[in-house]
Structure 1
């Protein structure tokens, strides 16, 4: 029974609890036991929450009393350690914040707990959430459950590894350039970055700048992602980027009354992609076509004119470094390698910054043109499957690329704010998960969720888990 519980999705666990097939205590205990069994090899969980079992007992008592309960009543969850959690360590992967315990929950945490979920643990990340691998001086390196010699990605690698390994059915993560979608791709789970501002950043570090930061859920099923998104979306009166009403486009949505229009690409100015990753995207496109969608290979001239990764680097250098340097000043001896790397990036000139801003506007125009013709865009999540730890320059399809090239296909949607989802659809020749990314127009979350739900039924790799 324990194995069934640790790999059930959150929706299934909630159903089993509601109908009395299993207690909240049993579900939480099964996940705590799983953490004890596998986390020493993964180091994905960095803080266990005291009182999780007591909260589960109280949830059982509430159900027994016939009280009205939320849609995630009694379901355990984990949260990335950049999210404030009241009374629970939130150390942001840095010795600078060691021992920090906030008084209040981040808005996203409060909302998911308000639906009845029980927080059982916090998960690992790179220092300050600023890298493509989850490693730091305070809580160490997280390993990929599919291959301990590989990374589960960053910056939400602890969250992705926890869900993939059965230590959690549902979690919360954040994304500046790749951090929700890339780790999910590396470990074979599902993640969703909604339109910028749909989920408030309140209580999540860094508070500023937030222009490219997004919040999103991770899970093992599309229905869990849809449920979590519905619970999380909407303004909180504190995040000025979060203004869209909560009832706007939250849910799986229904099929359009015509064929779904899908454009797919594997390059179009974004740089080289591993052949197995490209083949997986093609396979997903062909599966949608077989299911009745109108599917076309596309190019996006805006990507070919203005490289999104180069633009992101220029803009982030100008926007991130002042806030970054303010926090780290006087703590240089406590900073991790990658934090020092960020600190040492050459400054962007004002002229280049303005030119980059103008180029982002052209990217938005390019996206508008694309989504005028197509309902969704299908493309890679990461340009290579999960990589070895401490990735440096690597060769992909015969070309040598810098480490951050793994995010060249995710960065565009942080710059423009468009929603995008990551889900597994294949396997590499050496047994690692390969994912596809589904993107859509601004505020067209239900279109993405509908397409992803269809792809889920067509997937050749459903219900596969790492052997731990």
Structure 2
């Protein structure tokens, strides 16, 4: 039964707990056993939450007493180690923060607990959440459950690996340019970066540059992402970016007066894309068309005029470096290679910074024009499937690019604040997951969740797990 429990999604677990078919104690123990068996190979978990078993016993008692139960009652969840957890180590992937134990939960963690979820463990990441691989001097390198010689991505790579391997049904990651959606694509799970400001970043570090950072749910099903997001969304009175949105409502965002209109593209404007990945995006578009949805192959001229990755790089370096210098002052010998690289980057000139600000506005205008005519956009998440550890240069469709180009299709949504969901829809020749990205207009999470659920219903890769 243990192995079966760790393959259920969070929604199913909550249902089985509510109907007393399994107990929260059984569910918690099954995941702890899975971690013990699998994590020595994957290295996704950095800290087991002390008190998780006691919390499961309390959840079981509430069920037996007939108390009112939250939508995630008794369901374990994991959290990236850059997100504060009260009384549980939050060390940010760095020896500089070794032993750091917050007094308060981040808003996102508190909301998961309020919904009945039980904190199971913290997951691995690159130092300070700043790279596309999850490796650091404190807790080492995480491996991909589909092939341990490959990365599960970054910066939420430990989270993606834990969920893909059945060590956790549900979790929280953060996303600056790729970090929730990229790892999901590399491990074949589902994740969503909502509209900027939908979910407060309170209790998460780093937050600079705040206008690009997001926190979002990661899971093995679209319905789990929707359920978690429904609990996470809304202002908290502390994050100023999270003060303008009302509570998420799954019924908002779909226009009953006309059919859905969906476009799909793999470029230009995103950089080179592997033909296998491009074929998967086209297959997802064709699947929607077969369901009766109006689908077109499209282009967004603004993405061709201003390469979003270049815009992002010119903007975020200037805002990130002061926070890094402050955090590492006096601890330079304990820094890992990527933090050193970030601090060594040249400052953007003021004229280039202003030009990049204007380019970001043009990108927003370009997407606004697109979403005046379409309800959703299907793209790739990554231009290639999960890559080998430590690779810094890639040959993609006849072009040689550096590792930052893996963010080509994800970073436009951070620059513009648009919501995007990553979900698996294909498999490479080497047996690795290939995900697609469903993008929506600002605050239209309900629309992309709807489109993603349609894709999930016809997905050729439903219910496939790594052989561990």
Same structural fold, with TM-score higher than 0.5 when normalized by the shorter chain: yes
The yes-or-no answer on 1:285 pairing with 2:285 is: yes
Q: Which residue in the other structure is 2:215 paired with?
A: 215
State the Cα deviation string for residues 52-104 of structure 1 (Å, max 9, x = none): 11110111111111111101000000000000000000000000000000000
> How far does the alpha carbon of each residue in 1:197-222 deviate from its partner, in whole angstroms, 9 at most, with x for none?
00000000013331100110000111
Question: How far is 1:428 from its partner?
Answer: 0.3
The gaps in structure 2 that reach 5 residues or longer are none
- Distance in 2, Cα, partners of 1:102 & 1:153: 26
Q: Measured at CA, do residues 251 and 186 of structure 1 come closer, stay the same or move farther in structure 2, by a change above 3 Å?
A: farther
- Aligned partner of 2:381 in structure 1 is 381
Contact 1:134 1:151 in 2 (8 A): yes
CA distance in 1, matches of 2:260, 2:193: 21
- SS class of match (1:373): coil
Shift of the alpha carbon at 1:249? 3.8
- Residue deviations 1:100-130, cap 9 Å, x none? 0000000000000111101010000000000
Match of 2:8, SS state, is coil
> What is the distance in 2 between the residues matched to 1:347 and 1:337?
19
Aligned to 1:165: 165
Distance (whole Å) between structure 2 residues aligned to residue 86 and residue 273 of structure 1: 42
- Structure 1 segment 325-336 matched on structure 2, within 5 A: 325-336=325-336
Paired residue secondary structure (2:198): coil
CA contact (8 A) 1:229 1:250 kept: no
CA RMSD of aligned residues (A): 1.1
Do the aligned partners of 1:249 and 1:445 also contact (CA within 8 Å) in 2?
Answer: no
Question: In the aligned structure 2, how far is the partner of 1:382 from the partner of 1:449?
Answer: 20
Tell me how far apart the structure 1 counterparts of residues 249 and 315 of structure 2 sit (CA, whole Å).
Answer: 30
Cα distance in 2 for partners of 1:287, 1:264 equals 12
Contact kept, 8 Å, 2:230 with 2:248, in 1: the verdict is: no
Q: Deviations over 1:381-414 (max 9, x none)?
A: 0111001101211100010001011111000000
> 2:340 aligns to what?
340
Quote how far apart the aligned CAs of 1:332 are. Answer: 1.4
Contact kept, 8 Å, 2:209 with 2:316, in 1: the verdict is no
Cα-to-partner distance string for 1:307-361 (whole Å, 9 max, x where unaligned): 0000101101111111111111221111111111111111100110000000000
Distance in 2 between the 1:275 and 1:39 partners? 33
Pair 99,193 (structure 1): closer, same or farther in 2 beyond 3 Å: same
Contact 1:252 1:449 in 2 (8 A): no
Identify the residue that residue 77 of structure 1 maps to in structure 2: 77
Residues in 2 aligned to 1:416 and 1:25: alpha-carbon distance in whole angstroms: 43
Question: After the TM superposition, which of the residue ranges 62-71 and 143-152 deviates more from structure 2?
Answer: 62-71
User: Given the superposition, is the C-alpha separation of residues 463 and 253 from structure 1 closer, same or farther in structure 2, using an over 3 Å criterion?
Assistant: farther
State the partner residue of 2:19.
19
Change (3 A) 1:235 1:269: same
Contact 2:20 2:63 in 1 (8 A): no
Deviation for aligned residue 1:257: 4.4
CA distance in structure 2 between the aligned counterparts of 1:443 and 1:253, rounded to whole angstroms: 8
- Distance, in Å, in 1 between the alignment partners of 2:15 and 2:244 is 30
Per-residue CA deviation, residues 158-213 of structure 1 (Å, 9 max, x unaligned), is 00000000000000010000000000000000000000000000000013331100
Aligned to 2:372: 372
- Relative to structure 1, is the Cα distance of residues 188 and 252 closer, same or farther in structure 2, using a 3 angstrom cutoff? farther
Counterparts of 1:132-171 in structure 2, within 5 Å, are: 132-171=132-171
Whole-angstrom distance in 1 between the partners of 2:375 and 2:254: 13
- 1:140 deviates by 0.4
Instruction: State how 1:418-429 maps to structure 2 within 5 Å.
Output: 418-429=418-429
Counterpart for residue 455 of structure 2: 455
**3-state secondary structure, aligned to 2:372:** helix
1:114 is matched with 114
CA contact (8 A) 1:223 1:252 kept: no
Give the C-alpha shift of residue 243 in structure 1. Answer: 1.4
The residue correspondences of 1:6-155 to structure 2 (distance < 5 A) are 6-155=6-155
Q: Given that residues 233 and 250 in structure 1 are in contact (C-alpha distance below 8 angstroms), is that contact kept between their aligned partners in structure 2?
A: no
Q: 1:109 to 1:376 in 2, by over 3 A?
A: same
Q: Paired residues, what number?
A: 468
**Residue in structure 1 matched with residue 240 of structure 2 by the alignment:** 240
SS at match of 1:241: helix
For 1:325 and 1:103, how far apart are their aligned partners in 2?
24
Cα distance in 1 between the residues matched to 2:251 and 2:461: 24
